[in-house]
């Protein structure tokens, strides 16, 4: 598969970050609210259907603590953990070329500042989340994702798949990250996401949990 050179990807990320930066605070606040609402409805609807089918809904969700400019899911994470009884975990960077480690998060427990200035939980390790929410800088309508270039999520998802874990991935992106007009080709090691949600709705249709 044809891939872009590093400089081309760097230029693309720069353009995507600039588009994101130009969003107004009102747009990001409204968009975040809409995304949290759609996520809540998606999970609740799937959980209800699975119970009606006599199946066990997922109980562990891997989310992310937002960096500046990313969609803020924190109000929803509090709801899931405190009111809905879900096990919410967050990613932890353990090394430059290692898969992410997911640790249990609780609203009552302190966070620590990890690599790249990201806030990380100190709870127990969660080996295999059932649902993984992934921050997305740019995306295609086929579920391809471009992140920040470190490859952590690609390594993590590939490692989980290789280990035989069953999980569902959802990308969270601003609609400004749509790559439809960009000459972007995913790399061979990229792992497509099962669904992608933006502030304008589902860019890649919401997956059905099984």
CA angle, corner 58, sides to 55 and 63, nearest 5?
165
CATH architecture of 6-204: 3-Layer(aba) Sandwich (3.40)
Assess contact for 10 and 173: CB atoms under 8 A.
no
pLDDT at 100: 96
Is 42's pLDDT higher than 90?
yes
Number of residues that this document lists for the chain: 210
pLDDT of amino acid 90: 98
Scan for tokens 């803020």, then name that residue. Answer: 72
pLDDT digits (tens, 9 = 90+) for 154-192: 999 999 999 999 999 999 999 999 999 888 888 887 889
Task: Determine the Cα–Cα distance for residues 155 and 189; give it in Å rounded to an integer.
Answer: 9
pLDDT at position 96, please? 86
Domain boundaries, the chain: 6-204
Tokens linked to 60: 């562990």
């Amino acid at each position: 598969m044809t891939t872009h050179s590093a400089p081309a990807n760097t230029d693309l990320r720069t353009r995507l970050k600039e588009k994101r930066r130009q969003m107004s605070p009102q747009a990001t606040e409204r968009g975040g609210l809409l995304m949290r609402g759609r996520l809540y409805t998606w999970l609740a609807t799937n959980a209800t259907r699975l119970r009606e089918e006599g199946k066990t809904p997922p109980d562990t969700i891997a989310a992310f603590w937002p960096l500046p400019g990313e969609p803020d899911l924190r109000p929803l994470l509090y709801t899931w953990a405190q009111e809905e009884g879900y096990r919410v975990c967050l990613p932890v960077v353990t090394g430059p070329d290692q898969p992410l480690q997911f640790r249990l998060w609780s609203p009552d427990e302190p966070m620590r500042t990890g690599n790249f200035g990201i806030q990380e939980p100190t709870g127990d390790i969660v080996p295999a989340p059932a649902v993984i929410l992934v921050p997305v800088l740019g995306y295609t309508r086929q579920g391809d994702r471009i992140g920040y270039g470190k490859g952590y999520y690609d390594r993590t998802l590939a490692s989980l798949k290789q280990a035989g874990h069953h999980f569902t991935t959802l990308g969270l992106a601003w609609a400004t990250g749509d790559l439809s007009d960009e000459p972007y080709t995913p790399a061979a090691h990229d792992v497509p996401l099962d669904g992608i949600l933006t502030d304008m709705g589902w860019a890649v249709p919401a997956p059905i949990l099984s």
